[in-house]
Amino acid sequence: MPAPLILLHLGLPAALALAPSDAVHIGKEPSRQWRALPARQLQLAKGAAWQGFTGAEGAGWTARFDDWSGLPVWAWGPGIAVDDTSADTVAESVLDILRRHPGLVGGLDADTALALREAVAVSRGAQGGWIVQLDQLVDGSVYPQGEPAGLAPSALHFDHHAAHGQPVVWRGGVQAHVQDGALVALSVKVLPAWTGRRVLGAREAVAVATTTGPAAGATTVHGAALAVVPRSDLGDPQARLAWMVRTATGGDQPGDFVSFVDAETGELLNVHNQVRYIDGTLSARHDTRTVDGDMTDSPVVDLVIEDDQGNSTTTDRSGGYSLAGSEATAAFYDGVYFDVRNDGRTGSSGMLAWSESAPLWTDTDATQAEIDTYVFLTMVQQWAELYAADTGIVEDGMRGNVNLNSSCNAYYDGSVNFYKAGSGCNNTGRIKDVIYHEWGHGLHYYAARTGYVDGSIGEGAADVVAMLETGDPEMAPGFNTDGSGIRNAAPNLRYPDDVVGEVHYDGLIFAGAVWDYLQLLEGELGEDAAHDIVSAQLVDVLRTNPEIPDTYEAFVLVDDDDGDLGNGTPHQCALIEAFGQHGLGPAGAGESFLLLDHEAITTADPTAESYPVSAAVLNPAPDCLEGGASGGTVHYSIDGGDTWESAALSASGDTVEGAIPAQAPGTVVDYYLEVDSTTGPAYAPAAGAITPLSFVVGTLEELHCFDFEDGDGGFWSELVSGSASLGADDWMHGEPRGYADDPLAAFSGNHVWGNDLGGRIDGEDWNGEYQNEKHNRLNSPELDISGHDQVVLQYRRWLRVEDGYYDQANILANGEEVWTNHASGRSVGDEHHLDQDWALHTVALPAGDSVVLSWEIVSDGGLSFGGWNIDDVCVYAVDASDPGGSGGDEGGDDGSTGDDGTGDEGGDDGSTGDDGSTDDTDSAASDDLAGSKDDGGVSACSTAQSSAPTGWLALTGLLGLGMLRRRRD
């Protein structure tokens, strides 16, 4: 048979198995979770770069954007014509599109920052298609010259680097999909900017990896190469320049380790073992499927046999053969596509000699594991000939090593390897699911054509290969001696709430989605047709080398039949339903399929008879989800009360409209929209009553404002109670960084106050979450509010805190609570306040001579989130007597306003328009109280302005947002 290490030209693949083992250090390769918060998606869709593309040749295209980079992580639409006559021409055509629209890749120069790794022809559409992979290159100035021999990257170990002769961004670049002569989809995962410099040399990095990593004293060092990698362990959207160091250990439990060492600091960032072992207790005795005593006679196919006259032949698919001699012999290490070796050696492997016409090979002449492994490998080979014939795995074949000297393990490293029975586990070479699973890892690498694959997808896909054969979502029943299996894909694990960073468990999200998709198609088309569709699509999806959040889009891509993804695909409705149950695709949010785009009210004219509200109702999959809005309700509450009133919303086409009745001047109104449809209710904001919108009735007179740009505003923090451990008082003044789903940027300017902004500070890593069992508080200076009967606080808020039954986020005025987060009860406990955007929050304050404002977190011993982020804090007097307008619309950067009496916002110098509101002279008293802008005091930065839209974006609608569930001891 051909050499099983034919994968060398792809980069040696990871050795993957069924579950992790405590005996071997296991990690997950660097990755970053992609999120798509509704308000951010809407802003990005309206951005100049995307509008420029869709206003030209990208007309009709839709996208899901990366909230951090702002780039289309997936985009598709009507085909854009390209020259696909060859790999070179199709790649050049894709690059031409990116040259014309550099905003699609964050302004990168397509000629210097992107390089073709490969363009692979695929069977897709009427005329075929291509997958074009462009890698993002690292600035060559950081690449080391003259590194010692033996440490440079090679094709064997670092295929991306070898292809370009310089470092790349780890799994970064552009993937383009061409069908029938047209570009139909793009996936952009580039880093528009990254920081880092190379201080550490390759030998120093190897020393770090082999002394502090899990492979200490490794006998083999394969190489070291530079790459830019994400800091996935802390949720940091930033990335670092790092050395990838590859080391190996041998023995019965081999290790193939990849260590990422920070090229500037020498810190060990990430380690993962590409040999992933399984843990657990084997069970069952069954050669039909598992080790349970149920034996089946199956033909031995594609095996070379020899007769006593020196002739040889190969058995056919029925096990038949024809030879001239009177006796024949065969061994399982002599297959056409597979050779199976006992204990990894030829000499000890079983052989069969016979002279009868119908020989039956039993464990008398070979171990049962040799027989089972060979038979099951030939079965999966026949599946591959139907669905994966052009991937290369069919012709290249594979080696199987059985009865290896350990237990409870199986893995893939270019060969499939199975262990003896022991420690409560059955022999893994005797279980069909295990053998199919390990072979499935090989399929993943062959289809993706790279050694850089997502481990979670690899495990999920390998499980799917087994499920397609067994028709059972349970993986390897009888693996353990008590009869149990390893795991089950049937439960609806969801992305991202159920992601734990362990590839086998995380892979169940993907495997479960495919299983549900298969079941839906079986109900619609029948078992055989569904099996054919899912089998073929699985192989094509693996060609895109997806990560978990990409899998819905990848299946839609391969489901297309006309080169226009804008008009839907044949089975898109089943895909929406199946993947939605796992937090993926348009239905991933879990509530309604409909999306609402609503412009929030910020202030209201005290003379108005009512306050109009409206929302665009967007259906992300109109061909699948029948019916739009049938009406709805605007719910409103007065002055922070617990009672909600309601007013009707009427539906007209794709819009709902209504009004909140007029309220007394000075009233603070909280509200949210609920829209009815046949697919269930939809809300704006998405969490409804938990995170309502708010506004004040009246004209606002600015008393004090803080934008935190020239200083901390005189604000100060304290630990009220809880152990005074490092970071217990975690209030920080600085730039937000997106940790723990906090904002990626301030609402205005660059600086905010927040709980644990994340990042590396004074040698310590901060994860962005507030700590457990702490009560900490941020306090303002004392602010003069004398002479005013009605006073309100208005500020920008991005708050993420657990249900108020457990954790409290409070606002205090002179030590008295004036606002707290929503609380449910012990029987619920998961109605968390999770802002997805900068919300304008209005809170009534008690009148008096002065006020000290405080924001605090009071946490228990359980779940934690990102806490408070506050910006543009203002205190206003509410003037109910001025009929001149709302006084809340934002002015220009130069401080000018219109002359319409609306009280538009002034500029940084404190000036206003001619509407009679307070100017910088009038605010002198507050300057004296809290300090000037130069010393971090007051600045004129009114926030009574129109907020960013809070609704979902119809044209994205591709990634559901899961709520984290509470986990307690």
**In this predicted structure, what is the pLDDT of residue 908?**
37
Beta-strand ranges (E) seen in 685-831 are 693-697, 699-706, 716-721, 731-734, 752-755, 759-761, 764-766, 775-779, 783-784, 791-797, 800-801, 808-813, 816-820
Residue 907 has pLDDT above 70, yes or no: no
What's the rounded Cα separation, in Å, for the pair 554 and 538? 9
SS (H, E, C) 843-859: EEECCCCEECEEEEEEC
**In this predicted structure, what is the pLDDT of residue 771?**
94
Residue 107 has pLDDT above 50, yes or no: yes
**In this predicted structure, what is the pLDDT of residue 636?**
97
Q: Is 112 helix (H, G, I), strand (E, B) or coil?
A: helix
Q: Quickly state the pLDDT bin for 627 (edges 50, 70, 90).
A: low
Question: What is the CB-side half-sphere exposure of residue 274 using CA atoms within 13 A?
Answer: 24
* Mean pLDDT to the nearest integer, 643-671: 93
**In this predicted structure, what is the pLDDT of residue 236?**
53
Residue 716 has pLDDT above 90, yes or no: yes
Residue 15 has pLDDT above 50, yes or no: no
**In this predicted structure, what is the pLDDT of residue 140?**
53
Tell me which of 181 and 408 has the higher pLDDT. 181
What digits encode the pLDDT tens for the residues 445-488? 899 887 778 889 999 999 999 999 999 999 999 888 888 888 99
What digits encode the pLDDT tens for the residues 606-620? 999 999 999 998 877
Question: Which residue carries 């890593």 as its tokens?
Answer: 765
What digits encode the pLDDT tens for the residues 753-772? 999 998 877 778 788 999 99
* Mean pLDDT to the nearest integer, 201-218: 71
Residue 889 has pLDDT above 50, yes or no: no
Residue 313 has pLDDT above 50, yes or no: yes
Q: Quickly state the pLDDT bin for 596 (edges 50, 70, 90).
A: confident
Q: How would you classify residue 891: left for phi > 0, otherwise alpha for psi between -120 and 50, otherwise beta? A: beta
* Mean pLDDT to the nearest integer, 846-858: 97
Residue 2 has pLDDT above 80, yes or no: no
What's the rounded Cα separation, in Å, for the pair 22 and 44? 44
**In this predicted structure, what is the pLDDT of residue 263?**
81
Q: What is the DSSP letter of 471?
A: -
Cβ contact 254:419 at 8 Å: no
User: H or E stretch including 113?
Assistant: helix 110-113
Residue 335 has pLDDT above 90, yes or no: no
Residue 931 has pLDDT above 70, yes or no: no
Tell me which of 176 and 955 has the higher pLDDT. 176
What digits encode the pLDDT tens for the residues 531-574? 999 999 999 999 999 999 999 999 999 999 998 888 889 999 99
* Mean pLDDT to the nearest integer, 488-495: 93
Tell me which of 255 and 601 has the higher pLDDT. 601
Beta-strand ranges (E) seen in 45-165 are 62-65, 72-81, 114-122, 129-137
What digits encode the pLDDT tens for the residues 390-443? 888 988 889 999 999 888 889 888 899 999 999 888 999 999 999 999 999 999
DSSP for 189-210, written as a single string: E--S-------S-HHHHHHHHH
Q: Quickly state the pLDDT bin for 237 (edges 50, 70, 90).
A: low
Tell me which of 360 and 63 has the higher pLDDT. 63
Least confident of 56-65, 437-446, 476-485, 847-856: 476-485
Mean pLDDT of the residues in the chain: 80
Residue 913 has pLDDT above 50, yes or no: no
Least confident of 167-171, 578-582, 708-712: 167-171
* Mean pLDDT to the nearest integer, 662-675: 94
Residue 81 has pLDDT above 80, yes or no: yes
What digits encode the pLDDT tens for the residues 719-761? 999 999 888 999 999 999 888 889 989 999 999 999 999 887 7
What's the rounded Cα separation, in Å, for the pair 92 and 702? 57
Q: What is the DSSP letter of 275?
A: B
